[in-house]
């Protein structure tokens, strides 16, 4: 009876398909996570300058396409966003490979110009455009170039550099792995080199302006220089009777009109068509772009003020007479008021000289300025001895021929 019961239970279980023995199982494990796979991975071959990009901050940078098995984050989107806003070489990026996945995603392999970051970043769904984590970026913007006839040379500061941080094969930090011209080493060798400018651009990262050079010197032709390293090369004119005028300053004090000793100047025009006896009209200028009369006013001897021109229509090969007078002056004396003793500070006195001819002894100083455009008050404050700070003006009614007293205190 027991045997029959066991047989029927086994038969019933078999009919239901429940034949598993206790302690065993035929259930399958959960399916493994499915990762994307690469369907294409190619080198980009288009013009490298068209593959300059910037991070958008929308996606992270990975060791491989972000959806592939084993991809690790190199830099988060937030970090890349901060980098993109910085004014450094690392802010600019070059894309150089492109990969697609079986899910239709496009990834670009990129590197920052300084080489600090290199990896894969999501770039959208088309291999023909940059999207997602990167966007096209123009590393230069057009700027206004100087006149093509203007000649330049290197500044003394640039010539003094011991390594070439002056001549570049492309504006600095605007193209990947393009920097200072490796063939140029000793900048002092270019002391006499001159060149003109063909193109000007601005680097928007640091707002520097760069000039591309045109030069008969083959190793400089086509090179790029920061405009701050250039200065205009003045023509080296030899003064002759055909292109120059002698400027003589006459001291009109007491009607004597005696020439001021050792004050003569020579005006030389850059125009090559002038002849001796021709009127030196205002249209003729020198290397500093000054006319004869502007030149004469600029070079009034120290301690004198311009009054008038002694003659009109001076000619080349002739003389321009300029009447001047002893300039009105005020002595500036600094008093040490640190301990309220107001003792004059030794060797600190200054002299304020008016540029105006109508300033005379006894005239109030307040409305007059010197050759630098400074009032007496501004002049006095500017020339305070190092280690002191301004406190007050002791008198406010200084006149020419008199003294302006200035109270100062020792700086803390």
pLDDT tens string 302-334? 889 999 999 999 999 999 999 999 899 999 999
pLDDT value of position 31: 45
What is the rounded average pLDDT for all residues in the chain? 89
User: What token pair was written down for 144?
Assistant: 């206004």
Q: Is the pLDDT of residue 367 over 60?
A: yes
Cα of 166 vs its chain's centroid, Å? 13
pLDDT value of position 288: 86
What is Dmax (Cα atoms) for the chain? Answer: 159
Grade residue 236 by pLDDT with cuts at 50, 70 and 90: low
User: Number of helices and strands (H, E) in the chain?
Assistant: 5, 24
Residues 38-136, CATH architecture: Roll (2.30)
Q: Is the pLDDT of residue 153 over 60?
A: yes
pLDDT in tens, 370-400: 988 999 999 999 999 988 999 999 998 899 9
Grade residue 19 by pLDDT with cuts at 50, 70 and 90: very low
Spatial separation of the C-alpha atoms in residues 153 and 17, rounded to whole Å: 98
pLDDT value of position 8: 43
Q: Is the pLDDT of residue 3 over 60?
A: no
Domain 38-136 identical in fold to domain 142-232 = yes
pLDDT value of position 21: 36
Spatial separation of the C-alpha atoms in residues 350 and 306, rounded to whole Å: 22
pLDDT value of position 40: 97
As a whole number, mean pLDDT of residues 119-134 equals 96
pLDDT value of position 34: 85
pLDDT value of position 43: 97
Grade residue 211 by pLDDT with cuts at 50, 70 and 90: very high
Q: Is the pLDDT of residue 10 over 90?
A: no
pLDDT in tens, 23-52: 443 444 444 568 999 999 999 999 999 999
> How does strand 152-154 pair with strand 230-232?
antiparallel
Q: Is the pLDDT of residue 95 over 90?
A: yes
Q: Which residue has the higher pLDDT, 29 or 61?
A: 61
Tell me the percentage of the chain whose pLDDT exceeds 90: 75
95 closest CA partner among 114, 77, 74, 121: 121
Cα of 76 vs its chain's centroid, Å? 31
Fold of 142-232: SH3 type barrels. (2.30.30)
Positive/negative CA dihedral, 184, 188, 194, 195? positive
pLDDT value of position 394: 94
pLDDT value of position 5: 37
As a whole number, mean pLDDT of residues 219-229 equals 96
Map tokens 């398909």 to a residue.
Answer: 17
pLDDT in tens, 238-287: 899 999 999 999 998 766 789 999 999 999 998 989 999 999 999 999 98
Spatial separation of the C-alpha atoms in residues 379 and 350, rounded to whole Å: 9
Q: Could you tell me the residue ranges of all domains in the chain? A: 38-136, 142-232, 244-326, 329-410
Distances (CA, A) of 367 to 132, 245, 363, 399: 65, 35, 10, 11
As a whole number, mean pLDDT of residues 126-146 equals 96
As a whole number, mean pLDDT of residues 334-360 equals 91
As a whole number, mean pLDDT of residues 183-193 equals 91
pLDDT value of position 246: 97
Q: Is the pLDDT of residue 158 over 60?
A: yes
Q: Is the pLDDT of residue 13 over 80?
A: no
User: What token pair was written down for 194?
Assistant: 């001159």
């Amino acid at each position: 009876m027991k045997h029959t019961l066991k047989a029927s239970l086994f038969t019933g279980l078999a009919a239901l398909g429940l034949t598993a023995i206790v302690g065993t199982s035929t259930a399958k494990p959960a399916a493994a996570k499915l990762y994307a796979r690469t369907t294409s991975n190619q080198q980009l071959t288009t013009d490298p300058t068209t593959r300059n990009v910037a991070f958008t901050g929308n996606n992270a940078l990975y060791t491989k396409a972000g959806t592939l098995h084993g991809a690790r984050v190199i830099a988060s989107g937030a970090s890349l966003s901060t980098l993109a806003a910085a004014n450094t070489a690392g802010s600019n990026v070059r894309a150089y490979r492109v990969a697609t996945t079986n899910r239709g995603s496009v990834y670009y392999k990129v590197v920052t110009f300084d080489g600090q970051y290199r990896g894969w970043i999501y770039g959208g769904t088309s291999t023909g455009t940059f999207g997602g984590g990167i966007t096209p970026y123009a590393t230069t913007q057009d700027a206004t170039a100087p006149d093509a006839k203007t000649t330049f040379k290197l500044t003394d500061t640039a010539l003094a550099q011991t390594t070439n941080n002056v001549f570049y094969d492309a504006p600095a930090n605007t193209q990947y792995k393009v920097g200072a011209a490796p063939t140029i080493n000793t900048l002092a060798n270019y002391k006499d080199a001159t060149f003109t400018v063909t193109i000007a651009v601005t680097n928007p990262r640091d707002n520097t302006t760069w000039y591309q050079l045109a030069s008969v010197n083959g190793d400089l032709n086509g090179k790029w220089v920061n405009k701050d390293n250039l200065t205009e090369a003045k023509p080296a004119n030899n003064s002759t009777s055909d292109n120059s005028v002698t400027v003589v300053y006459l001291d009109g004090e007491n009607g004597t009109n005696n020439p001021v000793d050792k004050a003569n100047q020579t005006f030389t025009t850059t125009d090559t068509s002038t002849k001796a006896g021709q009127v030196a009209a205002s249209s003729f200028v020198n290397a500093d772009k000054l006319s004869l009369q502007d030149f004469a006013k600029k070079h009034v001897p120290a301690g004198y003020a311009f009054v008038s021109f002694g003659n009109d229509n001076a000619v080349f090969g002739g003389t321009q007479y300029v009447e001047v007078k002893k300039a009105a002056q005020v002595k500036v004396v600094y008093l040490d008021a640190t301990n309220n003793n107001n003792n004059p500070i030794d060797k600190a006195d200054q002299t304020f000289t008016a540029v105006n001819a109508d300033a005379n002894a006894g005239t109030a100083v307040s409305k007059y300025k010197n050759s630098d455009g400074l009032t007496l008050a501004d002049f006095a404050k500017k020339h305070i001895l190092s280690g002191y700070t301004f406190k007050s003006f002791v008198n406010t009614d200084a006149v020419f021929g008199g003294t302006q007293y200035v109270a100062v205190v020792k700086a803390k």
